[in-house]
Chain A
Amino acid sequence: MRTCDDIRELLAWYVKGSLANEEMMAVSAHLAQCAACRAELASTVQVGLALDGLYRHLPASPEDLWNQVTKQTHGRSLGSFHVGSFLVGFSMGARWKRGNVPIQGDLRVMGRRMRLFDTSKKRSQRRSA
């Protein structure tokens, strides 16, 4: 038998829907017959709503972060060019990575990117074959 204290310490996860099914049902059943815990639930919902507003003001990742990451994962960019528009476009770029110069070409359609070719993959596939 769960006490009010047991139920109240689960309410944050109940509000977010991240409890296991059995716990969700136990909390729901308790709330149906406990006015004090329903008041606590209302308070938890208020906190959740205020936090939702706060989350929108947390900073997004810096724009340059992707470039910093890819310098370590894919190598340093040697140059690239882009043609077309947001609707349809083509881009090609070359990088310097551990003495190799892999070249990639992408087709962009409605903002989605599709890799057309990647010479680094051919090299690694030849190595593994």
Chain B
Amino acid sequence: MLTDRELLKRVADGHQDAFRDLYDRFADRVFRYTVLMLRNRHLAEEVAQETMVAVWKSAARFKGHSKVSTWVLGIARNQALRLLRKEERGGRIPDIPLVTPDPSKQIRRERLVAEAMNELPDAQREVVFLTFFEGLSYNEIAALQEVPSGTVKSRMFHAKRRLAEVLT
């Protein structure tokens, strides 16, 4: 199986089958990340679409300074922030929780964490997502959020304390 970098190289060379494979690896991750950031599935779908199109168009510009996943998520983040600024100017406010707990299927602990995640400030929720779901280091998150690594650690500290509180 090709690595992400090898796959992206083939995408840069115009191979559509490689793009499909790259899409399969990243589409869900990008969509979940943008749902988390925008809290609106319609806007998240729009951003995920723009992100994957941007990946196809700019694959040749990937310099290899980061992991491919970090690069893709960075594109998604920029697209989401751009859309968020536009939507806020237009007065549209994101309108759904990150996840809608289903009491019949989810155990109590997951439901409590879902509710606590919904209530976290956006920047803290993003740090939790990128750390626990995407496995990014604090330095990679700092680069994505364009803040010092100490800020990322502080955001995680406060978010983790809140999440741990609801579990005790």
Contact = CB atoms under 8 A, between A and B. Distances in A.
Interface of A: 8-10, 12-13, 16-20, 43-44, 46-48, 50-55, 57-62, 65-66, 68-69, 72-74, 104, 106, 113-115, 118, 121, 124
B32 interface: yes
17 contacts: A10-B138, A12-B132, A16-B132, A44-B164, A50-B110, A51-B117, A52-B132, A53-B107, A54-B113, A55-B32, A57-B110, A58-B36, A61-B27, A61-B28, A62-B31, A65-B31, A65-B49
B52 interface: yes
Contacts of B128: 51
A13 B109 contact: no
Please name the 4 residue pairs, one residue from A and one from B, whose CB atoms are nearest each other, closest first: A61-B31, A53-B110, A50-B113, A9-B153
B135 interface: yes
Contacts of B154: 9
B28 A13 contact: no
B48 interface: yes
Contacts of A61: 27-28, 30-31, 45, 48
A103 to B, nearest CB: 12
B99 A69 contact: no
The binding surface of chain B is classed by DSSP as helix
B56 A73 contact: yes
B49 A57 contact: no
Interface string B32-76: 100110000100010011001100110000000000000000000
Contacts of B56: 69, 73
B48 A43 contact: no
Contacts of B30: 61
Interface size class of B (residues with CB under 8 A): 35 or more
Nearest to A106: B17
Given A43-B164, A57-B99, A61-B45, 16 more contacts: A9-B153, A16-B132, A16-B135, A44-B164, A55-B132, A55-B133, A57-B114, A61-B31, A65-B48, A69-B53, A69-B56, A72-B53, A106-B17, A113-B17, A114-B17, A124-B14
Contacts of B157: 8-9
B17 A73 contact: no
B136 interface: yes
Contacts of A18: 131, 135-138
A104 B117 CA distance: 45
B113 A60 contact: no
Contacts of A113: 17, 20
A53 B133 CA distance: 11
A48 B132 contact: yes
Contacts of A9: 153-154, 156-157
